[in-house]
Amino acid sequence: MSRKEETKVYQLEDLSSLVENVPEKLQDAVTQIHYGILCHEAYNNCSYVWSKDDFELGTPLGKGKFGRVYIAREKKTKFLVAMKILFKSELVKGRVEKQVLRELEIQSRLKHPNILRLFNWFYDDRKIYIALELASEGELYRHLKASPHGRFNERRAAKYTYQVADALHYCHLNNVIHRDLKPENLLLTGDDNIKLADFGWSAHTLSNKRKTMCGTLDYLPPEMVESKSYDDTVDQWCLGVLCYEFLVGSPPFESEDSEKTYAKIRRIEVHYPRYVTQGARDLISKLLKPNGLRISLREVMVHPWIKENKKKQLDETFTAV
């Protein structure tokens, strides 16, 4: 990665400073976790060899094509993670070994508040174990479908759009293109914040030019549909589709068959329901543009519609207090 972050090494005498901003009722529990981490043999020790015996597996959280995800607890610190377990035989059968290794390499280096952390990974003869940050509320897609009318209100949509834009901006600064943005690849934390996940189709590229067609049909940008080379602004296009789906409940180019979807994407044929406000339409329309004309992710984060709804949410928070 181009931007390397220094990791501070804490000592036991730093315990009080580590929990000073933690609510008083949680300080004892958080102090115990930090103490366990600082005393663990693996802390600041790159030669420590992790194994499945370091963890206790709990409730299943989900099932994918190549493996399962469980809630897991590290035995000494009691720290909770989401443990993704992949079966090597299934990876070989699906010919995705290189894709998985690329995903591990990229995600393990990304450290951002709105990107799901990959803490560590290890393997045995049959399986690969990936210890991931636990996002307790699960897939955002489930929350979208459970919302009134199957869509988010403007404040919630604007908040999530801002957080995804911030995460993607960080990725791009580190020469990473995500390439598979959609509600199913976003997770939600217990305090209602986004975690960008699933870097299976992501690419780390210094040239910023790619040709591989990948991602999800309804989110493909015109340059991919037309088999042209593309750059990291494919993520801006996907963000526009995502924002639309947040507000409407379905992606803008969804059709009965793939050929009709491709045709709509080529024409950038977008129809807005009456309830979508002018501010939201303005942002989405500036993202769903031909390659080279899309606004930057920084411009997304300071767009008037985003700023207006962030202010409303802040005002609501202070009113509630």
* DSSP string of 47-84, one letter each residue: T----GGGEEEEEEEEE-SSEEEEEEEETTT--EEEEE
Q: Residues comprising the binding site for ATP?
A: 65, 84, 133-135, 184-185, 198
Please list the residues that pair with 83 across neighbouring strands.
Answer: 70, 131
Annotated catalytic sites, by residue?
Answer: 180
CA distances from 297 to 33, 99, 232, 276, 303 (A): 36, 26, 11, 21, 10
Backbone φ, ψ for residue 128 (5° rounding): -115, 130
User: Measured between alpha carbons, how far is 18 from 15 in angstroms, rounded to an integer?
Assistant: 5
pLDDT cut 90: percent of the chain above it: 68
* β 127-132/80-87 pair status: antiparallel
Residue with tokens 């307790």: 136
Topology (CATH level 3) of domain 50-134: Phosphorylase Kinase; domain 1 (3.30.200)
Q: Taking a C-beta distance cutoff of 8 angstroms, is the pair 305, 158 a contact?
A: yes
User: How is the chain split into domains, by residue range?
Assistant: 9-48, 50-134, 138-320
Q: Name the DSSP letter for residue 10.
A: P
Amino acid occupying residue 54: D
| Each residue's pLDDT tens digit, 183-240 | 999 999 999 999 999 998 888 887 666 656 666 889 999 999 998 888 999 999 999 9
CA distances from 321 to 48, 57, 174 (A): 46, 39, 39
CATH (one of 3.40.50.720, 3.90.1170.50, 3.50.50.60, 1.10.510.10) for 138-320: 1.10.510.10
pLDDT cut 70: percent of the chain above it: 93
160: pLDDT strictly greater than 90: yes
pLDDT at 315 (0 to 100): 63
| Each residue's pLDDT tens digit, 39-72 | 888 888 888 889 999 999 999 998 877 889 999 9
The DSSP element (H or E) to which 130 belongs, if any, is strand 127-132
Pick from 38, 167, 65: nearest CA to 107? 167
